[in-house]
Chains A and B, each alone.
Chain A
Amino acid sequence: MIRARIHVTLKSGILDPQGRAIQQSLETLGFSSVNDVRVGKFLEIELNEDDPAQAEQQLKAMCETLLANTVIEEYRYELELQPSRPPS
């Protein structure tokens, strides 16, 4: 089994008003070193798949067709091979 962690964020260059509001709040709290805040989505997907190449191919298709809107968003993912569940 493979667990995928997918991050979807607005493309760089696209204004993220939510990120900006959070940045201002952090500055208000005194975190003066905050340079930029981007808000995105985080998804965890468990795949019944043990081949990382196969998993990656499927994840890319999932991101391109549904999980991200590539007009405005970009995505990245990490894969983690999980030990298979023992047969019950």
Chain B
Amino acid sequence: MKSASDTGISVVRSAAVKVAGVSKTYSVRAGDDVVALDRVDLDVAPGSFVAVVGPSGCGKSTLLSLLAGLIPLTTGRLTIDGEDVHRPHPKAGVVFQSDLLLDWRSVLDNVLLPVEIKKLDRKAYVARAQDLLAQVGLQGFDDKFPYELSGGMRQRVAICRALIQEPGLLLMDEPFGALDALTREQMIMDLQTMWLRLRNTVLFITHGIDEAVFLADRVIVMSPRPGRVDLDLTIDIPRPRNWSSVHENANFQHYVRQVREIFEAKGVLVTH
């Protein structure tokens, strides 16, 4: 695909992701290698929401770091819209496990950080930043500082920061892992609402089976040591989905059970 320089505020062009035979080996010491990912294949269609679920140590965060261009891969090929990922790709935005807001910047300045880093015209993005903040229920919070916000609000700001440049690919690394149950539930539903509007490609890393099934079009189940894809599950539940009623949905229960069965078979979950 052509890399048309889309620096302006345009409609989201969702990106395609191709992971082909990707392995990642960390050398702890000489001759003492840890295989974090073992020949992983994954094709993500533009505009789809893919959740990667697995226990800790299954390499799902490694997969995200590779896609974010933060670490080099050992073997295989990894592309975003056909372009090899060697360094952070301009079409990708990342939301991390903790909000990682800069304490010395106001909410607005935190959201505009990627714009500054990419040396774009800040003024052109202020309105968009305010619009994003309003969408997550933070209108009028521009001049507040991170310490004035609750954990859930901080993560909302982090999501706005990742979305300021309308990334074709949104990478989310257990973004709600550090939040309490109620806030998490709210964030999951808000993320769905937001995504239904944006329709960009999302790769959502989590260890929560229910949130993966709720949010995603496809759930990729991974097992640990070495990290491998065990199951590729297409979720066929109409949207918008409702968190409280979806739990009574027979399909939902069926999907969740399928994922759990994999974990039980692999000894990740032990039933007594």
Whether A associates with B in a native complex is no
Chain A positions within 8 Å of B, measured between CB atoms, are none
Chain B positions within 8 Å of A, measured between CB atoms, are none
